[in-house]
A and B are shown apart, each in its own frame.
Chain A
Amino acid sequence: MSRQANRGTESKKMSSELFTLTYGALVTQLCKDYENDEDVNKQLDRMGYNIGVRLIEDFLARSNVGRCHDFRETADVIAKVAFKMYLGITPSITNWSPAGDEFSLILENNPLVDFVELPDNHSALIYSNLLCGVLRGALEMVQMAVEAKFVQDTLKGDGVTEIRMRFIRRIEDNLPAGEE
């Protein structure tokens, strides 16, 4: 039994490293393909969005989470269930706005940046920007238009990594074709 558990743990760890290493290779390739960091950031966000659109289906199928009734509940699910399920970390939730439409996710450690150093000529690169796209894409599929962006990053020398989440609006159901 302990051997089985150990093998599971090892297997999961290697799977994690495969993702981290693959992501690193992708960022390297995009830095070659595009001339400036802003374009790389946009591309990572776009790819993340496409992943998020699919990931939300996997998440809802695997978790027991029902519909969230407000943004605070959404924050709890993202930090305590989703990040735990996919990245093995539980960010803390801080800095709520008085209106309850903005909060921050604080990541003490970010698995995407294992083995990573940011060279000086890529100061504008948001290395983990894929995560912002994933969050935006996933939440759009549950009718929430949000903005997600990194406001602190340990790769830039900050003490923690912080993703600021802002609720923009609820997305209305699409009108049937032909109606306006």
Chain B
Amino acid sequence: MADAVLFEFLHTEMVAELWAPDPDPGSGGKRRSLSVLEGLGFRVGQALGERLPLETPAFREELDALKFLCRDLWAAMFQKHMDGLRTNHQGTYVLQDNSFPLLVTMGSGPQYLEEAPKFLAFTCGLLCGALHTLGFQSLVTASVASLPACKFQVVIQKS
């Protein structure tokens, strides 16, 4: 069974390698690079969503799915729970992690703030992929005001 640190080092190396190459340059160069990491995360999230044990056969409500991400998915990935979950009850959720493990090693405060988004793209995709497996289409973005705390905003798309 692979140790948690292996994923962290692999993630760092993927950010280093996959952020920079831009096989399809254009006006959206930065967007494209971010999309590759998000795409990988989406695929992993889909698979994790299938593999994690669900306490009920199907979630009836969005809120249950989001709680699942905050508790079970986060515990599987980072051995802890999300610190907060807020919603406007109109399909928008904000998931807060006050000490996001993939940012912890970068230090605390504003020093490396501009590099931080690279380290969130994979996890945005992962959350989106897990929700997809659970039957919800979503748009996930992340923001960092001060390391290592970050917020993931999840907007559930109405079908």
Contacts and interface: CB of A to CB of B under 8 A. Distances in A.
Interface stretch (B39-47, B55-63, B86-94): B39-47
A25 B40 contact: yes
Contacts of B39: 29
Interface stretch (A15-23, A95-103, A117-125, A159-167): A15-23
Leading 9 A-B pairs by shortest Cβ distance: A14-B76, A88-B1, A16-B1, A19-B2, A16-B2, A25-B40, A19-B7, A51-B9, A86-B3
Contact of B75 (A11, A20, A25): A11
Contacts of A86: 2-3, 5-6
A50 interface: yes
B10 A22 contact: yes
A132 B7 CA distance: 17
Contacts of B77: 14-15, 18
Contacts of A14: 48, 51-52, 75-77
B43 to A, nearest CB: 5
B79 A11 contact: yes
Contacts of B18: 29
Contact of B43 (A15, A28, A55, A130): A28
A111 B21 contact: no
Contacts of B17: 43, 47
Interface string A1-25: 0000000000111111111111101
Given A28-B43, A33-B21, A55-B9, A18 B48 contact: yes
Interface size class on chain B is: 20 to 34
Interface string A52-63: 001100100000
Contact of B2 (A29, A43, A50, A88): A88
Interface of B: 1-7, 9-14, 16-18, 21, 23, 36, 39-41, 43-44, 47-48, 51-52, 75-77, 79
Contacts of A116: none
B19 to A, nearest CB: 12
Nearest to B51: A17
Contact of B14 (A13, A16, A26, A111): A26
Nearest to B46: A21
Contacts of B40: 22, 25-26, 29
Contacts of B14: 22, 26, 47
B22 to A, nearest CB: 11
Contacts of B16: 50
29 contacts: A11-B75, A12-B1, A12-B4, A13-B1, A14-B77, A15-B2, A15-B3, A15-B77, A16-B3, A18-B44, A18-B76, A19-B10, A20-B2, A21-B44, A21-B48, A25-B41, A25-B43, A26-B14, A43-B17, A55-B5, A86-B2, A86-B6, A87-B1, A87-B2, A87-B3, A87-B6, A111-B1, A111-B2, A115-B47
